[in-house]
């Protein structure tokens, strides 16, 4: 039960790096009244290469930091953290904030399409290893054929700024040409970094495969939950704040890509 929260409190968003900025930007675009506090754990990126225990530890520490910033809601803008840490975060911080993960809204959006016979999933090693997408999709649609592939080069490639160019196209083609993706109806981009290469992926499939990322469906889930608890901000918000556990130029450059004004970026070594 959420008690004593105010509409004007910020929404906390976290990820291992720049990927969650796609989610933060979607919130900024669709819910402009909401103040955002973003934490990028650039010291430990990518989470997809870490153990589940390590991801849970990082997530607990980051959420503690965001709660100290008085956040009314925590958005786990990372599929690896959503799969490994969501339940643990609820257990530890129950009642202190609302929580949204990026997995459940995406699964629901795809499972509702009964015309889909076969779907593909690309994600980090940690997310694929958890098998959470396949499990949840088959729980909702037992007849659905689900094919999953770990794509570990994509996150570091994106973090280093190699997207929408020949390098990214070559890596994407290498992964998506895998025979398991033949005749898929839809592809889930089960990593919040991947919307930054969505156009490349759509081009590879020549617009013949429906591509899903979590941004719009997660914003819808955020809006619904805030409305449920009467916490939608209806006043003028403060500008977003960005914290990183290790300063990287790629993080600042990507943040400036989304937010054209000068940003409030602070190095915050919480470890």
Query: Catalytic residues, which ones?
Result: 78, 191
Q: Which of 195, 188, 168, 22 is nearest to 118 (CA)?
A: 188
Taking CA 84 as the corner, what is the angle to CA 212 and CA 190, rounded to the nearest 5 degrees? 15
Q: Which residues pair with 264 in a beta bridge?
A: 241
Q: Which of 128, 52, 60, 66 is nearest to 90 (CA)?
A: 60
Q: How many residues does the chain have?
A: 271
CB 239 within 8 A of CB 214: no
């Amino acid at each position: 039960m959420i008690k004593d929260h105010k509409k004007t409190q910020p929404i906390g968003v976290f990820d291992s790096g720049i990927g969650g900025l796609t989610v933060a930007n979607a919130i900024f675009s669709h819910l402009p009244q909401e103040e955002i506090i973003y934490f990028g754990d650039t010291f430990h990126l990518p989470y997809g290469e870490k153990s589940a225990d390590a991801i849970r530890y990082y997530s607990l520490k980051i959420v503690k930091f965001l709660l100290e910033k008085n956040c009314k809601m925590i958005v786990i803008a990372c599929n690896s953290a959503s799969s490994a840490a969501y339940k643990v975060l609820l257990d530890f911080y129950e009642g202190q904030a609302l929580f949204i993960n990026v997995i459940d809204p995406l699964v629901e959006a795809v499972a509702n399409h009964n015309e889909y016979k076969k779907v593909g999933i690309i994600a980090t090693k940690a997310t694929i290893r958890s098998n959470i997408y396949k499990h949840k999709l088959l729980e909702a649609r037992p007849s659905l054929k689900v094919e999953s592939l770990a794509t570990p080069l994509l996150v570091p490639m994106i973090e280093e700024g190699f997207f929408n160019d020949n390098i990214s196209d070559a890596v994407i083609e290498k992964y998506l040409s895998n025979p398991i993706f033949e005749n898929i109806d839809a592809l889930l981009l089960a990593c919040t970094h991947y919307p930054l290469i969505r156009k490349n992926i759509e081009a590879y499939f020549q617009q013949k495969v429906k591509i899903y990322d979590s941004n719009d469906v997660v914003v819808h889930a955020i809006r619904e939950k805030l409305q449920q608890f009467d916490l939608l901000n209806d006043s003028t918000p403060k500008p977003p704040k960005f914290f990183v556990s290790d300063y990287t130029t790629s993080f600042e450059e990507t943040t400036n890509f989304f937010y054209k004004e000068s940003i409030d970026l602070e190095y915050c070594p919480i470890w």
